[in-house]
A and B are shown apart, each in its own frame.
Chain A
Amino acid sequence: QSALTQPASVSGSPGQSITISCTGTNSDVGGYKYVSWYQQHPGKAPKVMIYEVSNRPSGVSNRFSGSKSGNTASLTISGLQVEDEADYYCSSYTSSSTLYVFGTGTKVIVL
């Protein structure tokens, strides 16, 4: 099971919107609604930001939103803030015996 493909880095200025893509296959991203996104600050554990493609857990800012089209899921951060600078990983349920696959990770840089 190959990792989902994400851009290595995405940058934006405070207040701008950025979008991170996550590309998989029909066996994972394209086949299920179970795409989630995690934020990870340096030296910290990941934190779920989006689950089931577009749902936000309680306490997560509504500046974070998710969507999916075909085999590609996306995470959009609007009104970019300095504290949003972190690594972001997508994850998907898969039809293989490996239940879950993560993305390659994207470093968000706030200019």
Chain B
Amino acid sequence: QVTLRESGPALVKPTQTLTLTCTFSGFSLSTSGMCVSWIRQPPGKALEWLARIDWDDDKYYSTSLKTRLTISKDTSKNQVVLTMTNMDPVDTATYYCARIRNWNDHYMDVWGKGATVTVSS
């Protein structure tokens, strides 16, 4: 059974750096073709794709947030980490990680339950 779980601080202050961890099971990020993406959703608003990391350590970022995002993986721990710098209240959202089973599938087949992050002083 494939599962993903997001973890991180529920509250961050403006200008701080957010670090979120996606811990997964049921698959390995060392498997050829496997990918993990991060997506966020502000309260009452639409989904927004943030980043993707591939089995071969290729990384992709949302153009609008590229300067603030870093995605990395620890294959031995089955974890993917997303950092977002210079947090602002508009970054308040639920952050999801999701699996892409093959780099050429281009859809997220299993999602975590999400981590709610509030940015406030």
Interface segment, A11-19, A69-77, A95-103? Answer: A95-103
Cβ–Cβ contact A103 & B46, under 8 A:
yes
Interface centre among B37, B64, B106, B112 (most CB of A within 10 A): B106
Cβ–Cβ contact A96 & B112, under 8 A:
no
Main secondary structure of the interface of B (DSSP, over half): loop
Cβ–Cβ contact A102 & B106, under 8 A:
no
Cβ–Cβ contact B109 & A93, under 8 A:
no
In the A-B complex, list the 9 residue pairs whose CB atoms are closest, starting with the nearest.
A36-B107, A34-B106, A45-B111, A51-B107, A100-B49, A102-B47, A93-B106, A98-B63, A105-B46
Contacts of B63 in A (CB 8 A): 1, 96-98
* Number of A-B residue pairs at CB separation under 8 A: 70
A105 to B42, CA, bound (A): 13
Digit string of B2-45 for contact with A (CB within 8 Å is 1, else 0)? 00000000000000000000000000000000000101000001
* Chain A: minimal CB distance from B100 (Å): 9
Digit string of B90-117 for contact with A (CB within 8 Å is 1, else 0)? 0000001000000001111101111000
- Total interface residues on B, using CB and 8 Å? 24
Given contacts A36-B106, A45-B111, A45-B112, contact A99 B96 (CB under 8 A): no
- List 22 contacting pairs A-B, 8 Å CB cutoff, sorted by A: A34-B105, A34-B106, A36-B106, A36-B107, A38-B108, A48-B107, A48-B109, A51-B107, A51-B109, A52-B105, A89-B46, A89-B47, A91-B49, A97-B61, A98-B49, A98-B62, A99-B49, A100-B52, A100-B106, A102-B39, A104-B46, A105-B45
Q: Pick the contact of A34: B46, B47, B61, B107 (CB < 8 A).
A: B107
Digit string of A80-102 for contact with B (CB within 8 Å is 1, else 0)? 00000000010101001111111
* Chain A: minimal CB distance from B107 (Å): 4
